[in-house]
Amino acid sequence: MDGLFKVFDIAASGMTAERFRLNVISQNLANSDTTRTEDGGPYRRKVVMFQEALNKNLGGKSDFAGVKIISIQDDLSPFRQVYDPTHPDSNEEGYVEYPNVNVLREMVDMISAQRAYEMNSAVVSSAKSMYNAALGIGR
């Protein structure tokens, strides 16, 4: 039975991580045209970094325990340059720096995160069905 509950923990960690990733993607999309932030420059795309989560068992071995979020990093790719001398944030040459957010890429990442969330949800449903079937055997 312990292995079954471990499945719930692993799937739940994946769902939590993907929900957090969706929130960051939403933030990127919301700021895709933000040319001025509190720091003074255009918004910089954020990327969520995951890592496997490990638990030490009694024998000293590491067991897989799901996924964890280790950081949110700035995407260091260059900003988009658009010629618009009438824009209040344009430089001396008339170019405006726009965020390095590619809306198409963010939408693909969003679909990927949604699918991963759905797969983890399906794992939880399957594990629940197996748990209920195991309980039914004893009746």
Dump pLDDT digits (tens) for 114-139: 999 999 999 999 888 888 887 888 76
pLDDT in tens, 67-97: 999 999 999 999 999 999 999 999 999 999 9
User: Hey, which bits of the chain come out as E strands?
Assistant: 46-56, 62-74, 80-83, 95-98
C-alpha 67/C-alpha 9 separation (Å) is 10
Residue 98, pLDDT > 80, answer: yes
The mean of the pLDDT values for the chain is 90
pLDDT value, residue 111? 97
Residues 46 and 30: beta-carbon distance below 8 Å: no
From 31, 28, 64, 32, select the one nearest 46 (Cα to Cα). 28
- Quote the Cα angle for 134-136-139, to 5°: 125
pLDDT value, residue 50? 94
Which whole number is the average pLDDT over 19-28? 97
Question: What is the pTM assigned to this prediction?
Answer: 0.84
